[in-house]
Structure 1
Amino acid sequence: MTTVEEAEAPSVSGPLRPRVWLLNTLFTSAILLSALLLFAVQPMVAKMLLPPYGGASSVWTTSVLFFQVVLLAGYAYSHYVPRLLGRWHPLLHIALLLAPLAVLPVTLPAWAAPGESVPVAAWLLLVLAVMVGLPFAVVSTTGPLAQAWYATLGLPRSRDPYFLYAASNVGSLVALVAYPFAVEPVLEVGEQAVWWAVGYGAFVVLLGACGIVTWRRARSTAGAAPAAEAAAAAPARATTRPKKALKREAAAAAAAVERLGWRRRLRWLALAALPSSLMLGVTTHMSTDVAAVPLLWVLPLALYLGTFIIAFGTRRHGWVAGAVDAAAVCCLPVLLIAAMPDLVGIPTAMVLSMGVLTVVSLAAHGLLAADRPSPAHLTEYFLLVSLGGALGSLFNGVVAPVVFDRVLEYPIALVAAVLLLAMTRTPSGLVAKVSGRAWVRFGLIGAALATAYLAMVLEQLALLLATFALGAAWAVLSFASRRGLGAAVLAALGGGLVLAMTIASAGDGVLLRGRTFFGSYVVRQGEDYRSLSHGTTVHGTQLLDPIGRRTPVSYYSRSGPLGDVFAGYGAPERSPRIAVVGLGTGAVAAYGQAGQQFDFYEIDPEMVDVATDPDLFSYLDDCLCETRTIVGDGRLALSEAEAGYGVIVLDAFTSDAIPAHLLTREALTAFADRLAPGGVIALHISNRALDLEPMVGATARSAGLTALTRTAAGSEPQSSVSQWVVIGRSEADLAPLGERSEDWRPLPEGGPVWTDTYSSLFGVIRWD
């Protein structure tokens, strides 16, 4: 379909047509390849970082912050440096393209693991800068720079080169989708780095050719300038100008005098920051309760980039008003689900979270694209868009962990979406019509008052939250056809109250709450027990009475599966040394006996403080055995430990997220090498979102190991249903389990095999 701009563009015919096609292909290919490189390197580097930094979602959040900041630096370079260097800049930029070749391929530094006294996030940023900072910075300049170069070539689409930005996002999306499905299953991480270096070499050739074309164009234009000035000074001849030509000249003149106000610039910043923050919030939300794997990292980012493609790939934006309305409506129920995660299952919550991310990003990016300036301001525009994205990442990656003691950035982003979209919206016809009906608004107020009364009488938090959701809906409809700060404040009022109630509702019985790089935690006290939770999952409980406090409960009870393990393998003469990956409350120490040594491997130093504080939990203090705590990733630290453990307990969950790098074939092989003859690995696989049993069975068999599983609840107070898998070198090593209980059974066959280079969730997600 021919667009208005294309119809009014200068016609190209004859021998010039192949040249135009060739230049369009050259610039599009360079931008596509640069985007592929930019977004292929991000999951690759984050996967390299998993062993020294564990499976915390903060690894990805901090990495995205780094990439956003470096991207901002690249956009700043694209805006300011060409203005300083003039027509010689393309040649100098070609020289800059060669510099990263000296540091490729990307490798993980030997000193990448953070020390105990080092701020983990700051150390991770330093590691990223050394690993990939220079090549990523150079590639990140390509998007706005190549578009600015293209705008100087005088081609039919040079006056609106924003289509190249959509092409850039197509490349980004392809890279993200290809990584978990095509790259990760086929190539080792080291091989990925080599192929990335090869791709960078091809990129240097393509963008170098673009630079030479641009430099030659600039040189010829500079030579023609005196002649153009002389022609302009000559007496004008009367001519009859076509209306289309006059219209083009008027548009060009208007673009030349376009002025950007600070209000418009701030709106660009806000519209870019909101989807960026929401994307990271959704990623943290899913990674905390499911798994820290590339699939859950790249899906939200892919959806985020997909909305860029739609927004900047279309010339008309009449659909934006409808997208804004849909975003405002979708945020409220998803906010309610975020406040009360038990309302729906985790897979449903994941789908809803990604859905609201898509709708909000589409609305915000549509508003951005509809307000794009003329090419004269292109580099500044993209600089501000990049700055907004970096600010969103900065809020999630740096500000929120310091300011909030729990993960609140996701619900805050949902409230901010209602606020921002109410300020910038143009109502669609349907919403404007509905908002004009007084009975609709009064009906919502009546429903809100009725649910508030029921909430007070029945003391139901869900009804109270529904009250505020109805209030928010009233505010949105009441001010749907207006703009301004007052409308935005009232539109966000209901959502803000929902957020406030979410914070207040989580405070009952709280003794301690905190947040570290590795996640958020809370210690609560009930009538006769004390518990530790990560995210939305209880990770350990201790009874308070003097006798009961020495009894392991929750997932670790003596009458449950782990009790069978220690009954069969836990005697001091058989297992003088026992390793536990994941400290939690230290409940496993209750199995310790005199003459034994329990080594607890814990990646989060703050968890060591919690478990060793006698005012919180006393399992370690009460233990009859000797205990040691080793801070560091369990896989790396265990690989350096002396072999000879009778039992290795793997229980390193963060909320309900599985530690994927501890469950691979290579990891199980490494753990088995640390066992004494006849020793076993006890793996805790209880999970609300994932059915890990077939995968663990297939992976263990692939490593030459054998495994049995049992699911049961203990009979002790405060005990929970738990599923454990015990892995040994041979069936004879697992014989003591059969003597203990007939409920131990082999794991099913046919599951996926996880390796260090591939860990797909599709075969293990619980969809029911």
Structure 2
Amino acid sequence: MYLLYFVVFISAFLLFQIELIIGKIFLPNYGGSYFVWGACIVFFQAALFAGYAFSHFVIRWLGITRYRFLHLAIIASSFLFFPGRSLPLRYSLTNLPIVIDVFLKLLVTIGPVFFVLSTISIVTQSWVANSKLPQKNNPYILFGISNFGSFLALMTYPFIFENYYDLSFQVNIWRIGYVALAVFQLIVFIVIKIEKEVVDHTRAIAISKRVIIEWCLYSAAAVILFLSVTNVLVLEIAPMPFLWILPLAIYLLSFVLNFKERPFFPKFIDKYAYLNIGFGVLFYFVVSAKAFPVLIVGLASLVFLFFICMTCQSRLYLSRPKDIRGLTYFYLIMSFAGFLGGLFATWIVPVFANSHLEFLIGLFMLCLAINISKKDYAVPFGVLVWVFALALLLYSGRIFLLKFQYWGILLLLGVVWVIFFALKKRAFGLSIALSVLIILANNIEMNWLKGNCIYQMRNYYGIIRVLDIGQARFMLNGKTIHGAQALDAKGRQVPIAYYNPRSPVVKLLLSVNQLRKIAIIGLGTGSLATYTNKDQSLDFYELDKDIIEVAKKYFVFLNIAHGNIKYYVGDARKSFESVDNKGYQLIVVDAFSGDSIPTHLLTKEGINVFRNNLAENGVIVFHATNQYINVVDPLVSTAFSLGAKVLYKTDVDITTGRFFAEWVAVTWNDETANQLRSVFNWEELDKNDFKDIRVWTDNYTNILPHLDIEKIFKSVMSVKMFPKPAYMK
């Protein structure tokens, strides 16, 4: 039996590790957006469903005895693709939407091997169920072991594999692991015998529609909620890859704890599930208000997700078919519902919603599943009164926050719990309450925001807000300010924040007469365009085309610019490679979405692409400011490896006392370096101070060693987000 444990464990480990490897390979090709990872998740769920569906129908038709031979043949045939063939590290882009382009590329690269790996767990469970092993009566424990393998793959990747090995080495290690898996699968074929089996081509067992609907709702709700919590973490806190895997790890851990011989599920989790749902409802709006330090928000979201997933998985385990003939059908329904949940949360909601609405929809599906299990559909008048009270309470919730600060949130939570306790007596009331909140969510959320939200949109790159607060207008991506302007007629023509008149980059634009051709990677509000004159050409390279429209419509900088402005939409590195725009005297790299790091722009190969488009006396200036990561060290080390001269400067907007900025200038021209040092007071860095910093390449990037603990602590404990400039009275 331990041999089967190992096969299931290593197959799941390899399954999730190739997810992380291919995700890391794909991210740079699409500008480092988190939604690339979301699109990858949808593909993985689709491939998992395809593997489960294939196993279910073929095992039902052939029986596990004959299917074993086919199973070995499928494993062998996978070597005709990857891992038998190499895995490219760079891909060309198409004009298709991101999610579809990612899906198709995954299909033709790791699709076959991922499909094979997705069949192993369910096939092995069927194998055990028809064997002479003692565990034949409860093969579901193998599903828990499978998820433990997945969990371990997630947690070891950032700390071991990504930290110490480059991508090529990771792929080779993975290939060796897959060969070992194929060998052990052959040994299992020889050692584990099958009892005499009668193949029944008809439906295995009768399962009620109510139970099937419950399976669908619990499975979809868990997936939607873990993806929506991921969205909250990366869009409202920090788009750091490590935060992407934490919700998925919790989701898998809930399977490990429930699908085992002695499930771990404290009764209080299910007994007070309605209180957790109530907490989730309030949490949704508190996150919008940015009322708490992000450390508290992050921890609260993960604890909430753990309890929610435990509720879903425990109910799935308890409702599993006791007759082993329904085993494959059970997993088929679970995987199908999980795939639809992921598709909905990652592909569909960002198109029609401008907030994290999938969070409330996931809670609604959980409430509906609980309601169906209780078979209670009555709606007395008292339920409607409680629902109305809940909506009114949340709509006016910001009043509690302003008057009582944090105590107001605790008071709100207490009242929300009282309402959910009352609704618990009528299970259908919970579903009605969530459906009403979904309809009113946008209005309630706008009422919680600080200031006046004049525009909000969501796409596959994040949530963009334009907020008027006091006498200033801000553009935000999640929690990060991407530009600001004053609202008064005179002040709004002068940029504030990072590109204020005293900014080091602005001084270069205004003081160096020979700057005729300029490139800026990352548009933001377009504030740098304000400083151009009629003899200068300025090319903006922007990944998200919607940002261009927002900057033109809600900010004045692009409209009052005197220079010749052009826009190139798409990944900057790809655009530089495909467009002949040589001879830039200045290239400004400011392509951070939130605080995510577009590492492919900071590698040796990426910097060389910019260098190839740089004039002989030109300079590349990187905006290296980040709340969580020390970007300067790997960037400087990489630039030195290319023989460049590297200079450094910091800046603070004196009108606000905020917007601390770090700038790194890279040039291969001695005269330019001397001018930056002597005229503009940049500090020239010494190569020997960075000799121990590992150089970033397309084959190796890793942010873990560069996490800045001091920055993180200061950031997560900060609750003041919008500064008040000194000129505002």
State the TM-score bracket (shorter-chain normalisation).
Answer: 0.7 to 0.9
Distance 1:721 1:487, change over 3 A: closer
Quote how far apart the aligned CAs of 1:404 are: 0.3
Quote how far apart the aligned CAs of 1:343 are: 1.9
1:264 matched to 2:233? The reply is no
Distance 1:295 1:554, change over 3 A: same
CA deviation map 1:374-403 (0-9, x unaligned): 222111111122122212211211221122
Q: In structure 2, how many angstroms separate the alpha carbons of the residues matched to 1:362 and 1:551?
A: 53
2:506 corresponds to which residue?
563
Quote how far apart the aligned CAs of 1:721 are: 1.9
CA deviation map 1:153-176 (0-9, x unaligned): 121111111121111112111211
The answer (yes or no) to whether the contact 2:517–2:584 under 8 Å persists in 1 is yes
Q: In structure 2, how many angstroms separate the alpha carbons of the residues matched to 1:732 and 1:411?
A: 58
Q: In structure 2, how many angstroms separate the alpha carbons of the residues matched to 1:545 and 1:699?
A: 44
Structure 1 counterpart of 2:272, one-letter code: D
| Segment of structure 1 superposing worse, 677-686 or 751-760 | 751-760
Distance 1:349 1:662, change over 3 A: farther
Structure 2 counterpart of 1:387, one-letter code: F
CA deviation map 1:242-277 (0-9, x unaligned): xxxxxxxxxxxxxx9975222222222222222211
| Segment of structure 1 superposing worse, 411-420 or 758-767 | 411-420
Q: In structure 2, how many angstroms separate the alpha carbons of the residues matched to 1:651 and 1:515?
A: 21
| Segment of structure 1 superposing worse, 261-270 or 525-534 | 525-534
The answer (yes or no) to whether the contact 1:291–1:659 under 8 Å persists in 2 is no
1:522 corresponds to which residue?
465
Q: In structure 2, how many angstroms separate the alpha carbons of the residues matched to 1:101 and 1:84?
A: 26
Distance 1:487 1:590, change over 3 A: closer
1:590 corresponds to which residue?
530
1:228 corresponds to which residue?
none
Task: Find the partner of 1:610 among 523, 529, 550.
Answer: 550
Task: Find the partner of 1:315 among 262, 265, 285.
Answer: 262
The answer (yes or no) to whether the contact 1:339–1:499 under 8 Å persists in 2 is no
Task: Find the partner of 1:684 among 623, 630, 638.
Answer: 623
The answer (yes or no) to whether the contact 2:370–2:427 under 8 Å persists in 1 is no
Quote how far apart the aligned CAs of 1:310 are: 1.1
Task: Find the partner of 2:222 among 263, 266, 275.
Answer: 275
1:107 matched to 2:87? The reply is yes
1:129 corresponds to which residue?
107
The number of residues matched between the two structures is 683
Q: In structure 1, how many angstroms separate the alpha carbons of the residues matched to 2:373 and 2:673?
A: 65
The answer (yes or no) to whether the contact 1:700–1:707 under 8 Å persists in 2 is no
Quote how far apart the aligned CAs of 1:539 are: 1.5
1:246 corresponds to which residue?
none
2:717 corresponds to which residue?
none
Distance 1:394 1:102, change over 3 A: same
Distance 1:202 1:560, change over 3 A: same
The answer (yes or no) to whether the contact 1:332–1:495 under 8 Å persists in 2 is no
Q: In structure 2, how many angstroms separate the alpha carbons of the residues matched to 1:454 and 1:722?
A: 30
Structure 1 counterpart of 2:310, one-letter code: L
| Segment of structure 1 superposing worse, 334-343 or 174-183 | 334-343
Structure 1 counterpart of 2:339, one-letter code: A
1:476 corresponds to which residue?
420
Q: In structure 1, how many angstroms separate the alpha carbons of the residues matched to 2:91 and 2:24?
A: 16
CA deviation map 1:474-527 (0-9, x unaligned): 1233355x4632355458878987775114445975554332222222345578
Q: In structure 2, how many angstroms separate the alpha carbons of the residues matched to 1:751 and 1:290?
A: 27
The answer (yes or no) to whether the contact 2:269–2:307 under 8 Å persists in 1 is no
Matches within 5 A, 1:16-95: 24-86=1-63, 87-95=65-73
2:718 corresponds to which residue?
none
1:625 matched to 2:563? The reply is yes
The answer (yes or no) to whether the contact 1:509–1:525 under 8 Å persists in 2 is yes
Structure 2 counterpart of 1:635, one-letter code: R
Task: Find the partner of 2:308 among 360, 364, 368.
Answer: 360
Matches within 5 A, 1:42-441: 42-86=19-63, 87-105=65-83, 107-108=87-88, 112-115=92-95, 118-211=96-189, 217=194, 259-289=206-236, 292-316=239-263, 319-322=266-269, 325=272, 327-328=276-277, 330-331=279-280, 334-344=283-293, 346-374=294-322, 375-410=324-359, 412-413=361-362
1:313 counterpart SS class = coil
Q: RMSD in angstroms over aligned alpha carbons?
A: 3.9
Task: Find the partner of 2:598 among 655, 659, 663.
Answer: 659
Q: In structure 1, how many angstroms separate the alpha carbons of the residues matched to 2:491 and 2:288?
A: 33
Structure 2 counterpart of 1:681, one-letter code: I
Structure 1 counterpart of 2:507, one-letter code: D
The answer (yes or no) to whether the contact 1:51–1:661 under 8 Å persists in 2 is yes
Q: In structure 2, how many angstroms separate the alpha carbons of the residues matched to 1:412 and 1:451?
A: 18
Quote how far apart the aligned CAs of 1:589 are: 1.4
The answer (yes or no) to whether the contact 1:678–1:728 under 8 Å persists in 2 is no
TM-score computed with the length of structure 1 as normaliser: 0.79
The answer (yes or no) to whether the contact 2:542–2:572 under 8 Å persists in 1 is yes
Distance 1:362 1:732, change over 3 A: farther
1:70 counterpart SS class = helix
Matches within 5 A, 1:699-710: 700-701=639-640, 705=644, 706-710=646-650
Task: Find the partner of 1:599 among 539, 543, 560.
Answer: 539
Structure 2 counterpart of 1:70, one-letter code: A
Q: In structure 1, how many angstroms separate the alpha carbons of the residues matched to 2:368 and 2:643?
A: 56
Q: In structure 1, how many angstroms separate the alpha carbons of the residues matched to 2:481 and 2:265?
A: 48
Task: Find the partner of 2:576 among 628, 631, 638.
Answer: 638
Structure 1 counterpart of 2:56, one-letter code: H
Structure 2 counterpart of 1:266, one-letter code: I
2:262 counterpart SS class = coil
| Segment of structure 1 superposing worse, 304-313 or 409-418 | 409-418
Q: In structure 2, how many angstroms separate the alpha carbons of the residues matched to 1:132 and 1:28?
A: 24
Distance 1:459 1:114, change over 3 A: farther
Quote how far apart the aligned CAs of 1:339 are: 2.5
Structure having the higher Rg: 1
Q: In structure 1, how many angstroms separate the alpha carbons of the residues matched to 2:487 and 2:66?
A: 75
2:518 counterpart SS class = strand
CA deviation map 1:588-610 (0-9, x unaligned): 11222233221211112222333
1:728 corresponds to which residue?
666
TM-score computed with the length of structure 2 as normaliser: 0.82
The answer (yes or no) to whether the contact 1:713–1:720 under 8 Å persists in 2 is yes
The answer (yes or no) to whether the contact 2:518–2:585 under 8 Å persists in 1 is yes
Q: In structure 2, how many angstroms separate the alpha carbons of the residues matched to 1:458 and 1:318?
A: 39
The answer (yes or no) to whether the contact 2:648–2:682 under 8 Å persists in 1 is no
Q: In structure 2, how many angstroms separate the alpha carbons of the residues matched to 1:124 and 1:736?
A: 45
Which 5+ residue runs of structure 1 have no aligned equivalent? 1-23, 226-255, 427-441
Q: In structure 2, how many angstroms separate the alpha carbons of the residues matched to 1:623 and 1:176?
A: 48
CA deviation map 1:289-308 (0-9, x unaligned): 56555423222212221121
1:251 corresponds to which residue?
none
1:764 corresponds to which residue?
708
Identical amino acids, percent of aligned pairs: 28
Which 5+ residue runs of structure 2 have no aligned equivalent? 376-385, 715-729
2:382 corresponds to which residue?
none
